[in-house]
Amino acid sequence: MGNRGMEDLIPLINKLQDAFSSIGQSCNLDLPQIAVVGGQSAGKSSVLENFVGRDFLPRGSGIVTRRPLILQLVNSKAEYAEFLHCKGRKFVDFDEVRLEIEAETDRLTGSNKGISPIPINLRVYSPNVLNLTLIDLPGMTKVAVGDQPVDIEHQIRDMLLQFITKESCLILAVTPANTDLANSDALKIAKEVDPQGLRTIGVITKLDLMDEGTDARDILENKLLPLRRGYIGVVNRSQKDIDGKKDIRAALAAERKFFLSHPAYRHIAERMGTPLLQKTLNQQLTNHIRDTLPGLRSKLQSQLLSLEKEVDEYKNFRPDDPARKTKALLQMVQQFGVDFEKCIEGSGDQVDTSNLSGGAKINRIFHERFPFELVKMEFDEKELRKEISYAIKNIHGVRTGLFTPDLAFEAIVKKQIIKLKEPCLKCIDLVIQELINTVRQCTNKLGSYPRLREETERIVTTYIRERDSKTKDQVLLLIDIELSYINTNHEDFIGFANAQQRTAANATKKRVMPNQVIRRGWLTINISIMKGGSKDYWFVLTAESLSWYKDEEEKEKKYMLPLDNLKLRDVEKGFMSSKHVFAIFNTEQRNVYKDLRQIELACDTQEDVDSWKASFLRAGVYPEKDQADNEDTMTPGDTVSMDPQLERQVETIRNLVDSYIGIVNKSIRDLMPKTIMHLMINSAKDFIHSELLAYLYNAGDQGSLMEESAEQAQRRDEMLRMYHALKEALVIIGDISTTTVSTPVPPPVDDTWMVKDPRMNLNIFKYENSTVLYFQ
């Protein structure tokens, strides 16, 4: 045999191929193989049949090989064939092998001459073969025939490249001698992926069909278009021989006689023929396997290590073991509780960098969304003064009051406090929704057990809904407590004396430092195309102004807008726009920017809009109030100015209401997050840690609760099979001896006969003082 010191290596690789093919996995290993490439009718199938000594491959005109055939030749005393997809069945009649290949090909590709990259695995045992592993690939073609797809050339080329681009694949480039060698499809594609010629072996077929007076002596002597590993000539059976059922043994004898008797090949007859090609391939493949074996072992070990953690829990797996189900249930519930707490409290592992979720989103609701909802309720100044005026008049009755009545103050304050109920309840609803989203996110890890996931989500969500009503009752109780006693002795309350001296200007005084930067970020200014179109700018919001710059370096300022008399309003999203928009306008009907009465600012999400609005609130820029309805319903008498004494009383109560409502708002803003955290969030965490398991046990049979999903069972089986296949492969490789007698790689040859023209996408072949252009 070609390399007896390593004759066990090729069966080893065959075992590895079978191990991974049987589980439908390639294990991402480039297993050493020999790929047979060439044009249609180049004689590829005949070469393979000569190796085996039997007729077993489909024949016909056009494209016959339509799926890769992985042919494993095993030297054995008995002669039979086995297909990987027909386990346990031995084919003794090789005509049946041909029919099975045709049937298996049609099963995937149909009978319309289509192709498929999914291989057929065939193993042939025979005393007449050497240990080889070859891949018969579809012949390259240029034109689609019949109902073949128009891109058949590219499909075949892509399939060939899938195999021959791997560094571990030897390329058997088959070219008929009766065609122009410079236009050989096999040599061209081999040269593309193996420019150094380390993996390419040339095979010249149909030497007996060359025109009279011509021969391939220069090619076979590696003088014309030389390859590093040279060429081997073979003579296959003619179509007449095949039709006449000429025995392959007789064909091999005729091939031997042809080389010995031909005057051009007589001197190199010992280096020609199918038996020598078989030995050469065996030796080259064996040496190649020896070279790739260390890398193969390293890849197997690295893949095994990557599977260790996941497989560890499955090693002693028994699906119906009650103890396993109990342990799994406890672990799943415990992990769910840990994940939920991490989502709420925040953690350093598995941080979501694309969206706010869990505790971060709830924090935004507490400190941005809820304060914004409170400010949105800020009184309509005209309506409030009218209510105060009516209250004072109704309290005085038929008399003309000389003093400001405190009952009017109390009535107006209570009316404003009642309005706090709506934003408080809305805040709770937003937190509830985020908690439910967090529960769903955390139950994703329970996907292996669909019933457990469903029950866990149902139980926890139901508990949160129950806490919802209790939390709302408590918040409403807080507001009722505020209503029950108006504490005018509060240390922050201005009192009647200060209220009379306070002016409207002092009332609207900013609460932040003048130069304090409140927010920075990107916003889009929406401007019509006629005026320049929308553009993104870097905005800086301070307590006194809104400035925008070209970029975040803040060197090139585009504009600075003072915040005096500015208000916010909502703007509907455009029909074709994906952005969310709000606007800034001047309450005195002045232009805000250039000739624009308002500027529209756009964000990517509604959350960004709400966050920017909350920032503007801190700067003293409030949302507008819809006063159209009030103005339409006003009677002429409503617009008549009050007498000076009543005006002073209204102004005093107005200042008192403003002061007291500020105290209430501050208290509510502080107590709302605390109430929600105590009654809802912390309570949900405690429930998950201490009571969820009991609820799950009461929910139904533990067996059905811990029933695996089909996907999980399949994934576990595949992982275990892969794990055991990798371990088995490592044991096989570890037992093999790697001492061998090897032949060195042939020295480089002058391969300038195929050079790349950098100016065009074509190859230039040079031989016999002529030039052939080969277009890609």
DSSP string, 176-243: ETTS-GGG-HHHHHHHHH-TT-SSEEEEEE-GGGSPTT---HHHHTT-SS--TT-EEE--PPPHHHHH
The pLDDT confidence band at residue 639, using thresholds 50, 70 and 90, is: very low
d(CA 649, CA 624): 27
Of the candidates 500, 549, 501, which has an alpha carbon nearest to the alpha carbon of residue 521? 549
Question: Do the bridges between strand 120-126 and strand 69-75 make them parallel or antiparallel, or are there none, so unpaired?
Answer: parallel
Q: Which of 113-127, 254-268, 421-435, 697-711 has the lowest mean pLDDT?
A: 697-711
Amino acid at site 121: N
Q: CA 395: distance to chain centroid?
A: 70
Q: Which helix (H) or strand (E) holds 292?
A: helix 274-312
Per the prediction, the chain carries an average pLDDT of 76
SS3 state at 141 = coil
Q: Which residue has the tokens 């939920």?
A: 340
Contact in structure between 419 and 668 (CB atoms under 8 Å): no
Domain 517-623: state its class. mainly beta
In sequence order, which residues have a C-beta less than 8 Å from that of residue 365 and are 6 or more positions away? 427, 430, 431, 434
pLDDT digits (tens, 9 = 90+) for 317-338: 555 556 767 777 788 888 888 8
Residue 776 has pLDDT above 60, yes or no: no
DSSP structural state of residue 557? E
Structure tokens at 175: 């070219």
- Say whether pLDDT at 755 is over 80: no
The residue among 620, 610, 618, 631 whose CA lies nearest residue 566 is 620
Tokens describing residue 171: 């390329």
Dihedral sign computed on CA atoms, order 189, 194, 200, 204: positive
Q: How would residue 761 be classed by pLDDT, with cut points 50, 70 and 90?
A: very low
> Do residues 122 and 94 make contact, with C-beta atoms less than 8 angstroms apart?
no
Which pLDDT value is given to residue 614? 80
Nearest to 127 by CA among 170, 73, 169: 73
Q: What is the DSSP string of 681-703?
A: IHHHHHHHHHTHHHHHHHHS-HH
Task: Spell out the alpha helix ranges (H) of 93-247.
Answer: 94-109, 152-164, 185-193, 217-220, 239-243
Q: Which helix (H) or strand (E) holds 81?
A: strand 80-83
pLDDT band at 471 (very low <50, low <70, confident <90, very high): very high
Give SS3 for 327. helix
Please list the residue range(s) of the chain that carry CATH number 3.40.50.300: 32-272
| Amino acid at residue number 335 | Q
Query: 133 with 14: CB under 8 angstroms?
Result: yes
H-assigned helices in 397-503: 406-418, 421-443, 450-484, 495-501
- What confidence category does residue 307 fall into, taking pLDDT thresholds of 50, 70 and 90? confident
pLDDT of 4 reads 43
Q: Give dist(CA 249, CA 691) in Å, integer.
A: 81
Where is average pLDDT lowest: 479-483, 492-496, 534-538?
Answer: 492-496
Q: What is the pLDDT of residue 473?
A: 92
The per-residue pLDDT for 634 is 42
**pLDDT band, very low/low/confident/very high, at 428 (cuts 50, 70, 90):** very high
pLDDT, one tens digit per residue, over 68-109 is 888 888 878 888 999 888 878 889 888 888 888 888 888 777
Give 497 or 164, the one with higher predicted confidence.
Answer: 164
According to DSSP, the residues that pair with 571 across neighbouring strands are 581
580 confidence band (pLDDT: 50, 70, 90): confident
- Judge whether 202 and 230 are in contact, CB under 8 Å: yes
Distance, in Å, from the CA atom of 545 to the CA atom of 559, rounded to the nearest integer, reads: 10
Summarised one tens digit per residue, pLDDT across range 645-702 is 667 777 777 778 778 888 888 888 899 999 999 998 899 989 988 888 888 888 766 6
Cα gap 735→278, rounded to integer Å:
27
Alpha carbon separation from 617 to 378, 382, 421, 512, 518 (Å, rounded): 11, 21, 20, 11, 10
Q: Return the pLDDT at 608.
A: 82
What's the CA gap between 419 and 265, in Å, rounded? 107
Residue 596, classed as helix, strand or coil, is strand
Q: Whole-angstrom distance between the N-terminal and C-terminal Cα of the chain?
A: 40
Q: Which CATH class is domain 32-272?
A: alpha beta
Instruction: CATH 2.30.29.30 in the chain: give the residue spans.
Output: 517-623
Residues 6+ apart with CB under 8 A from 78: 125, 127
Whether residue 624 is predicted with pLDDT greater than 90 in this model: the reply is no
The percent of residues above 90 in pLDDT, for the chain, comes to: 4
- The continuous run of DSSP H or E covering 171 comes out as strand 169-176
> Mean pLDDT throughout 365-392?
74
For the ranges 295-304, 598-607, 757-766, the maximum mean pLDDT occurs at 598-607
| Cross-strand bridge partners of residue 548 | 539, 559
| Helix/strand/coil for 764 | strand
